[in-house]
Chain A
Amino acid sequence: MQAGTSAQFFDGLTAGRHTVHVALSEDRQALMIHADTLPEPLRWPLQDLRALRDDSDEGRLTLTRHALTDDEAPRDPARLVILDPDLIDWMHRTRPGLFRRDLGKGTWLKIGKFLGGATAATLLMLFVILPAMAGTLARVIPIEREVAFGQTVVRQIEGFLGGSIDNNLRCTDADGLAALNAMMVRLTDGQDMHYDITMHVFDHEMVNAFAAPGGQMVVLRGLLDEADSAEEVAAVLAHEIGHIESRDPTRATLRAAGSAGLLTMILGDVTGGAGIAIVLDHVMNASFSREAEAQADAFAHEMLHAADVDVSAMAVFFDKISDLQAIEIPEYLSSHPVTDGRAALARREAQTQGATRPILSESEWQSLKSICD
Chain B
Amino acid sequence: METSDHLPVEYRENSGGLFSLAFKTGLLVFITLGIYRFWQKTRIRKFMWSSARAGGDAFEYTGTGLEKFLGFLIAIVVLAVYLGIVQMILFYFGLSVLAVPTGDYPTPAEIARFMAAFYISIVAVLPLLFYAAYRARRYKMARTRWRGIRFGMEKGAWGYAARAIGYGLLSVVTLGILTPLATFKLEKYMADRSYYGDARFEQGGKWTDLFACLKHVLVGVLLVITGIAAGFAGSNVLSMLMVLVGYIWGTIGLIYYRVHSFAYLTRHKILGQEVLFTSDPSAGKVIKISLLGSLAVGLAAAILLGVLALVTNLVAMQLLFASPGMMIGFGLLVIAAYVLILATLEALSLMIIVQPILAHYVSTISVQNAPALNRIHQRATETGIDAEGFADALDIGGAI
Which residue numbers of A lie inside 8 Å of B, CB to CB? 8, 10-18, 37, 52-58, 60, 62, 69-73, 75, 77-79, 81, 103, 107, 110-111, 114-115, 117-118, 121-122, 125, 129-130, 133-134, 137, 140-141, 145, 148-149, 152-153, 155-156, 158-159, 163-165, 168, 254, 257-263, 265-266, 268, 272, 275-276, 279
Interchain CB contact under 8 A, A12 and B378: yes
Given A72-B143, A262-B83, are A159 and B104 neighbors across the interface (CB < 8 Å)?
Answer: yes
B306 within 8 A of A: no
Count of chain A to chain B residue pairs whose CB atoms are closer than 8 Å in the complex: 208
Given A13-B377, A130-B84, A262-B80, are A152 and B143 neighbors across the interface (CB < 8 Å)?
Answer: no
Interchain CB contact under 8 A, A57 and B58: yes
Interchain CB contact under 8 A, B147 and A10: yes
Which of B14, B43, B44, B99 is A149 in contact with, Cβ under 8 Å?
Answer: B99
Given A54-B21, A130-B88, A262-B80, are A14 and B376 neighbors across the interface (CB < 8 Å)?
Answer: yes
Interchain CB contact under 8 A, A152 and B103: yes
CB distance from B12 to the nearest CB of A (A): 7
Interchain CB contact under 8 A, B378 and A14: yes
Which residue numbers of B lie inside 8 Å of A, CB to CB? 1-2, 12, 14, 17-18, 21, 43-44, 46-48, 50-51, 57-58, 60, 62-64, 66-67, 70, 73-74, 76-77, 79-81, 83-88, 91-94, 96-106, 110, 143, 145-150, 196-197, 373-378, 381, 383, 393, 395
Which of A11, A168, A262 is B104 in contact with, Cβ under 8 Å?
Answer: A168
Which of A52, A152, A260 is B110 in contact with, Cβ under 8 Å?
Answer: A152
Given A53-B46, A71-B381, are A276 and B147 neighbors across the interface (CB < 8 Å)?
Answer: no
Chain A residue nearest to B97 (CB atoms) is A272
CB distance from B104 to the nearest CB of A (A): 5
Interchain CB contact under 8 A, A258 and B85: yes
Interchain CB contact under 8 A, B64 and A17: no
- A75 to B376 CA separation, bound complex (whole angstroms): 21
CB distance from A358 to the nearest CB of B (A): 35
**CB neighbours of B1 from chain A (8 A):** 16-18, 37
- A65 to B97 CA separation, bound complex (whole angstroms): 53
Interchain CB contact under 8 A, B376 and A15: yes
- A62 to B145 CA separation, bound complex (whole angstroms): 13
Chain A residue nearest to B1 (CB atoms) is A16
8 tightest A-B contacts by CB?
A: A155-B103, A10-B148, A261-B87, A262-B84, A54-B46, A145-B94, A16-B374, A56-B51
Given A13-B377, A57-B12, A152-B99, are A125 and B80 neighbors across the interface (CB < 8 Å)?
Answer: yes
Chain A residue nearest to B88 (CB atoms) is A258
- A258 to B315 CA separation, bound complex (whole angstroms): 47
**CB neighbours of B46 from chain A (8 A):** 52-55
**CB neighbours of A16 from chain B (8 A):** 1-2, 147, 374
Interchain CB contact under 8 A, A70 and B77: no
Interchain CB contact under 8 A, B149 and A15: yes
- A73 to B145 CA separation, bound complex (whole angstroms): 14
- A37 to B147 CA separation, bound complex (whole angstroms): 16
- A155 to B94 CA separation, bound complex (whole angstroms): 16
Chain B residue nearest to A134 (CB atoms) is B88
CB distance from A166 to the nearest CB of B (A): 10
Interchain CB contact under 8 A, B51 and A77: no
- A73 to B68 CA separation, bound complex (whole angstroms): 13
- A324 to B381 CA separation, bound complex (whole angstroms): 67
**CB neighbours of B149 from chain A (8 A):** 10, 12, 14-15
Chain A residue nearest to B375 (CB atoms) is A14
Contact sample, A vs B, 7 pairs, CB 8 Å cutoff? A15-B149, A16-B1, A52-B50, A60-B58, A78-B148, A133-B85, A149-B94
**CB neighbours of B79 from chain A (8 A):** 265
Interchain CB contact under 8 A, B73 and A259: no
Interchain CB contact under 8 A, B377 and A14: yes
Interchain CB contact under 8 A, A17 and B103: no
Interchain CB contact under 8 A, B87 and A257: yes
**CB neighbours of B70 from chain A (8 A):** 110-111, 114
CB distance from B322 to the nearest CB of A (A): 33
- A71 to B142 CA separation, bound complex (whole angstroms): 10
Chain B residue nearest to A155 (CB atoms) is B103
- A15 to B76 CA separation, bound complex (whole angstroms): 38
Interchain CB contact under 8 A, B88 and A71: no
Interchain CB contact under 8 A, A261 and B381: no
Chain A residue nearest to B110 (CB atoms) is A152
Most buried by A among B44, B87, B110: B87
Interchain CB contact under 8 A, A261 and B84: yes
Chain B residue nearest to A270 (CB atoms) is B395
Most buried by B among A56, A155, A158: A56
CB distance from A136 to the nearest CB of B (A): 10
- A336 to B240 CA separation, bound complex (whole angstroms): 63
- A58 to B18 CA separation, bound complex (whole angstroms): 12
Chain B residue nearest to A140 (CB atoms) is B92
- A70 to B142 CA separation, bound complex (whole angstroms): 13
**CB neighbours of B93 from chain A (8 A):** 145
**CB neighbours of A71 from chain B (8 A):** 62, 381
Which of A17, A54, A118, A149 is B76 in contact with, Cβ under 8 Å?
Answer: A118
- A263 to B84 CA separation, bound complex (whole angstroms): 9
**CB neighbours of A262 from chain B (8 A):** 80-81, 83-84
Chain A residue nearest to B55 (CB atoms) is A17
Interchain CB contact under 8 A, A121 and B14: no
Interchain CB contact under 8 A, A265 and B62: no
Given A55-B47, A165-B105, are A275 and B98 neighbors across the interface (CB < 8 Å)?
Answer: yes
Interchain CB contact under 8 A, B94 and A148: yes
Interchain CB contact under 8 A, A265 and B43: no
**CB neighbours of A159 from chain B (8 A):** 102-104
CB distance from A101 to the nearest CB of B (A): 8
